[in-house]
Structure 1
Amino acid sequence: MEVILSVLLFMDALEIRDAPRRSRTPVLRVLFLALPLSLIAVFFAAMYLLPDVRLSLCLVLACILVPSDLAPTASLLKDRRIPARVRSLLSVESGYNDGIVAPVFLFGLAMLGQGEHADHPLKALQDLVPALAVALVVGAVVGGLLGLGIKSAHAQGWAELPALRLVTLAAPLLAYTLAVHFQANGFVAAFIAGLVFCTAVGDLVHDLLEFTEGVATFAIMPIWFVLGQLAAFVFQSPPNWPVIALVAVALTVGRAVPVLLATTPSRLTWPERATVAWLGPRGIASVVLALLALQDGTDTQIGIILESVVMVVFCSVMLHGLTAPLIGRAFARRQPAGATAVRPEDIRTGPVG
């Protein structure tokens, strides 16, 4: 599971390259203003709705429930009725938010250990900061060296693209392995490696990702199967209404209000802002984080985590999967007669993970 997440984070780090420059300011506002506000809102909602659980579990639940993932509404990226800048913003956000949430998630996990293994918040923070620093260095070095090496090898004709694609897949695996060896955060290292790798290889990046995207897509499939098994188990039990209420908060006001606040001073129109605020589907990122959290939880904590991730993905598939086409039709009705359609090349149509 850790290896799969490291590859996904590496791939996600490349998303910003496909965002038009004019749309990067709203993206940054959503990532660095709306995302923290959403985490805080869901954290406090968990504290209120689940008063008997530890604060560390509330933090872990927030990290599981908040990150968006376009997998449940993958067709959204190809719907040319929705403005290109809205699709671009949602695509980049879904790629970056799990990488940003990962350190907070691991901080919560450090405090979620059982009994004597649970860390005090200050000690967990003291352990986290050096681990993040080492991860930044490892990720930057691995991504930079491999990226420059691949670019040079391609320019000199020393290796063909199929071989270089294999080396590309090795980048997140090597970054994660080295970071763990140095007792650092492997997920952050893989994410940073993707950022630096993308910069190092330049425009060659799109020719290198075909194999890695295929591997990532194949690796995701068993996770959906696991989620189905977990859902069958969860739906056999009576509904946990506090968890359902928490999921409702995460999917609605916990997402919409922070995004609307963050995008208010922007060039996005009100319908575009409302679309971004609503279309925050949950998917593979939430499932992977939940599966990682299950390794450190007690029986009670495991039950709450399972119920939360199953309900948030199930509700997201229903809500966002059904409303995305309706939003597309609404934008089509607003489009002036004779307006130029969005060009297909404006949309990144690779695998959504």
Structure 2
Amino acid sequence: MSLLLCFALLLLAAVLLSSLAHRTILSTAVLFLAAGFVLGDGMTGVISLTPDDPTVKLLAELALFAVLFTDGMKVGWPQLRTAWRLPGRALGWGMPLTLAVTALAAHFIVGLDWPESLLIGAVLAPTDPVFASALVGNEKVPPRLRHLLNVESGVNDGIALPFVMVFLAVSAGSDDLHLGALALELLVGLLIGVGVPWLALRLERLRFFAASTQYEPLNGLAIGMVVLALSYALHGNLFIAAFTAGITVATFGPRQRQAFEHFGELGAELLKLAALLVFGVLISPAFLGEISWTGWLFVAVAIFLARPVALWFSFLGAGLNLREQAAAMWFGPKGFASVVYGLIVLKSGIAEADLLFHLIAGAIVVSILLHSSTDVVVARWFDDSAETPAWHRRVRRLTGRR
């Protein structure tokens, strides 16, 4: 009951502060994360949760399912074919390189074995546009940069998932390595994610079936719930099913996607905020104090070096100016998908699960605080009409010439 009451009060506060948050460095996501940190057992003890609590697992699964389903709807094949050049570079080159640099840091700085190093690299590779919302949603920012960040963050959660599952299976050791079962789980999830939406959309085109205007936004919700239920029943991978279902709806049902878009985004946002609150509860000053200095050095490399180096290499010859490339390199926030993947690692039972979760949590916390507080500042960098200091105008003229 305390969790529900705290979430309701925080949600009301987030709604009342949402307009201010769009104009300043204030972030509703940071509000929920910080509130969980303060309300958890490590501080005030108002909310008492442990990683083994069923609420944590259920909420994390539902939230990531909703996020991947709505993310998939943003990237139907028609959209990908028409504007794939820059996102393709970020996903095809940038994401694997980010994973590799992060894995190298984990191996040589923290001393993790290669399977665990690759696992933490896969967990921290996805990005989240929520923590750079002022940049993605600001019309002063060049459209190609906004499209790049939006498509990349919408796709990379689903792309990272198979790597997380495979590296997690390898980290479990040869006795527990069941790649055949894992492949079957992913395949079943893929078939459910494609088959259920395709059949539902085909049925709606029959003359006996048609959704009324009032119920049309619920069409996407109904499809998502059927995909979720079948994935549980047939032991398919929930997250692959969610992501492919979203892409299938976007590809074969553009009208249904448009009707569901706003409703689905709000639902996914509610679940994300609830999961961030729970994630904050699991972190405490003592928890963060358990991270060694080498762990914090790894966090710094993962945030300040891994993505910038990967994106710099990926966009060589892409035609982005210095401002656009710098913004793309910086805004790689470790967001909600990394939170859930980190919880999956924690509950996996592998030998280094606790150490990995500490490193993942430290990187996520630092990333959320840094990226969500600098998105407005960088967005103003692209606003030539805004009042800016003289030194800022000189830098902007210099980067414009370059």
Fold-level match, TM-score > 0.5? yes
Query: 2:125: which partner in 1?
Result: 66
Query: 1:30: which partner in 2?
Result: 90
Query: 1:185: which partner in 2?
Result: 237
- Please report how far the alpha carbon of residue 237 of structure 1 lies from its aligned counterpart in structure 2 after TM superposition: 2.5
TM-superposition CA deviations, 1:326-349 (whole Å, max 9, x none) = 3223222499xxxxxxxxxxxxxx
Q: Which moved more, 1:233-242 or 1:266-275?
A: 233-242
Q: Which residues of 2 match residues 295-306 of structure 1 at below 5 A?
A: 295-298=347-350, 301-306=352-357
Query: Residue 14 of structure 1 aligns to which amino acid in structure 2?
Result: M
The question of 1:205 aligning with 2:257 is answered yes
Q: Are 1:19 and 1:88, in contact at CA under 8 Å, matched by a contact in 2?
A: no
TM-superposition CA deviations, 1:32-55 (whole Å, max 9, x none) = 22111111221122111222x443
**Inter-partner Cα distance in structure 2 for 1:303 and 1:129:** 26
Q: What secondary structure does 1:264 align onto?
A: coil
**Inter-partner Cα distance in structure 1 for 2:211 and 2:189:** 29
**Inter-partner Cα distance in structure 2 for 1:198 and 1:80:** 24
- Please report how far the alpha carbon of residue 215 of structure 1 lies from its aligned counterpart in structure 2 after TM superposition: 2.0
**Inter-partner Cα distance in structure 1 for 2:188 and 2:276:** 33
Query: 1:315: which partner in 2?
Result: 366
Query: Residue 329 of structure 1 aligns to which amino acid in structure 2?
Result: R
**Inter-partner Cα distance in structure 2 for 1:63 and 1:177:** 27
Out of 275, 279, 292, the position equivalent to 1:223 is: 275
The question of 1:144 aligning with 2:198 is answered yes
**Inter-partner Cα distance in structure 1 for 2:385 and 2:102:** 34
- Please report how far the alpha carbon of residue 193 of structure 1 lies from its aligned counterpart in structure 2 after TM superposition: 1.1
- Please report how far the alpha carbon of residue 156 of structure 1 lies from its aligned counterpart in structure 2 after TM superposition: 7.4
Q: Which moved more, 1:76-85 or 1:188-197?
A: 76-85
Query: Residue 295 of structure 1 aligns to which amino acid in structure 2?
Result: K
- TM-score when normalising by structure 1: 0.82
Q: Which moved more, 1:307-316 or 1:178-187?
A: 178-187
Q: Which moved more, 1:133-142 or 1:227-236?
A: 227-236
Out of 42, 49, 66, the position equivalent to 2:102 is: 42
Taking structure 1 as reference, are residues 172 and 293 closer, same or farther at Cα in structure 2, changes over 3 Å only?
farther
**Inter-partner Cα distance in structure 2 for 1:282 and 1:109:** 19
Q: Are 1:148 and 1:200, in contact at CA under 8 Å, matched by a contact in 2?
A: no
- Please report how far the alpha carbon of residue 141 of structure 1 lies from its aligned counterpart in structure 2 after TM superposition: 0.8
TM-superposition CA deviations, 1:3-26 (whole Å, max 9, x none) = 322221111112235969764210
Query: 1:267: which partner in 2?
Result: 319
- Please report how far the alpha carbon of residue 99 of structure 1 lies from its aligned counterpart in structure 2 after TM superposition: 0.3
Query: 2:150: which partner in 1?
Result: 91
Query: Residue 285 of structure 1 aligns to which amino acid in structure 2?
Result: A
TM-superposition CA deviations, 1:115-160 (whole Å, max 9, x none) = 78632xxx52x4443443333222111121223334x27x877322
Q: Which residues of 2 match residues 155-194 of structure 1 at below 5 A?
A: 158-194=210-246
Q: Which residues of 2 match residues 124-135 of structure 1 at below 5 A?
A: 124=179, 126-135=180-189
Q: Gaps spanning 5+ residues in structure 2: where? A: 1-59, 387-402
Q: Are 1:31 and 1:93, in contact at CA under 8 Å, matched by a contact in 2?
A: yes
- TM-score when normalising by structure 2: 0.73
Query: 2:382: which partner in 1?
Result: 331
Query: 2:73: which partner in 1?
Result: 14
Q: Are 1:72 and 1:283, in contact at CA under 8 Å, matched by a contact in 2?
A: yes
Taking structure 1 as reference, are residues 334 and 256 closer, same or farther at Cα in structure 2, changes over 3 Å only?
farther
Query: 2:62: which partner in 1?
Result: 3
Query: 2:247: which partner in 1?
Result: 195
Identical amino acids, percent of aligned pairs: 27
Taking structure 1 as reference, are residues 168 and 22 closer, same or farther at Cα in structure 2, changes over 3 Å only?
closer
Q: What secondary structure does 2:284 align onto?
A: helix
Out of 284, 289, 292, the position equivalent to 2:344 is: 292
Query: 1:77: which partner in 2?
Result: 136
Query: Residue 193 of structure 1 aligns to which amino acid in structure 2?
Result: A
Q: Are 2:141 and 2:379, in contact at CA under 8 Å, matched by a contact in 1?
A: yes
- Please report how far the alpha carbon of residue 290 of structure 1 lies from its aligned counterpart in structure 2 after TM superposition: 0.9
- Please report how far the alpha carbon of residue 325 of structure 1 lies from its aligned counterpart in structure 2 after TM superposition: 2.7
- Please report how far the alpha carbon of residue 308 of structure 1 lies from its aligned counterpart in structure 2 after TM superposition: 2.1
- RMSD after superposition: 2.7
**Inter-partner Cα distance in structure 2 for 1:46 and 1:163:** 49
Taking structure 1 as reference, are residues 84 and 216 closer, same or farther at Cα in structure 2, changes over 3 Å only?
same
- Please report how far the alpha carbon of residue 250 of structure 1 lies from its aligned counterpart in structure 2 after TM superposition: 1.8
- How many residue pairs end up in the alignment? 326
Query: 1:55: which partner in 2?
Result: 114
- Please report how far the alpha carbon of residue 238 of structure 1 lies from its aligned counterpart in structure 2 after TM superposition: 4.3
Q: What secondary structure does 1:16 align onto?
A: coil
Query: Residue 244 of structure 2 aligns to which amino acid in structure 1?
Result: I
**Inter-partner Cα distance in structure 1 for 2:185 and 2:209:** 38
